[in-house]
Amino acid sequence: MGAQWKAKHKDIAANARGRLFGKLVKDIMIAARSGADPAANARLRLVCEQARKVSMPKETLDRAIKKGAGLTGEAVNYERVIYEGFAPHQVPVMVECLTDNVNRTAPEMRVLFRKGQLGTSGSVAWDFDHVGHIEAEPAQPDADPELAAIESGAQDFEPGDEDGTTRFITDPADVDLVSKALPDHGFTVLANQLAYRPKNPVNPANLSPEQLEEVEAFLAALDEHDDVQYLYAGLAG
């Protein structure tokens, strides 16, 4: 999948509401390190908007901002760690974790990868491009994603989910620049992040239904882990 892997089934998504809040809280706290005022902190403003769209309680949102900005006296020390490997049937996977205890996370990742294969640093990364992902929606009916991509400096674009959004692909160094330019070309930016895009994704049509189910189950188990922030799978479609 070109973007972050997401559980497809609505019942799974509903059950994952608490985990989604947990991931967003971490993003909010990290963004708030650069300032607690969303009006003066573009990254925080975007993450707060994502939190509101999934109906995160205002108390939870405010507490995460204050904690991340150091206004509560609590230390926030999350470390970003990347795990690389393969899901069943040699589907490459990049797992981005935010953890306050690597000594806890590492062995738990090894257990989760028993049904696949955990690799060493660089063993899978070569098969992914490190890019900027910008999720945006048209702010006007005639907004043209191709023209917006060209004029804003994005490298590529692709349709997002069924909600009418567009995903703009950028060089990692240009993600903020393109995010600021897109509103001038008819798009409202919903989220942006650095991400991994597979170079040679596996075609699901080449897997049997049983094999694809094994891959999906493996990815879902990884996604359920509290320390997994983003999950990228080299699976087309």
CATH of residue 208's domain is: 3.30.70.980
Question: Residue 138, Cβ neighbours under 10 Å: how many?
Answer: 17
pLDDT of residue 1: 38
What percentage of the chain has pLDDT greater than the value 70? Answer: 92
Q: Are residues 116 and 134 in the same domain?
A: no
Q: Are residues 157 and 47 in the same domain?
A: no
Angstrom distance (rounded) from CA 132 to CA 197: 9
Q: Are residues 52 and 84 in the same domain?
A: no
Angstrom distance (rounded) from CA 99 to CA 95: 12
pLDDT band at residue 73 under the 50/70/90 scheme = confident
pLDDT band at residue 75 under the 50/70/90 scheme = confident
Q: Is the whole model's pTM more than 0.85, yes or no?
A: no
Q: Are residues 136 and 35 in the same domain?
A: no
CB 133 within 8 A of CB 3: yes
Four-point Cα dihedral 67, 220, 6, 46, nearest 10: 0
Q: Are residues 107 and 223 in the same domain?
A: yes
- Per-residue pLDDT tens over the stretch 165-183: 899 999 999 998 999 999 9
What percentage of the chain has pLDDT greater than the value 90? Answer: 70
Q: Which residues 6+ apart lie within 8 Å of 177 measured at CB?
A: 153, 170
pLDDT band at residue 9 under the 50/70/90 scheme = very low
Number of domains within the chain: 3
Note whether residue 53 is domain-resident.
Answer: yes
Angstrom distance (rounded) from CA 166 to CA 190: 10
Of 3-12, 31-40, 191-200, least confident by mean pLDDT is 3-12
Q: Which residues 6+ apart lie within 8 Å of 128 measured at CB?
A: 92, 94, 196, 197, 198, 199, 232, 234
pLDDT of residue 11: 45
Phi then psi for residue 234, to 5 deg, are -80, 65
59: domain CATH number is 1.10.10.200
Q: Domain residues for 153?
A: 127-198
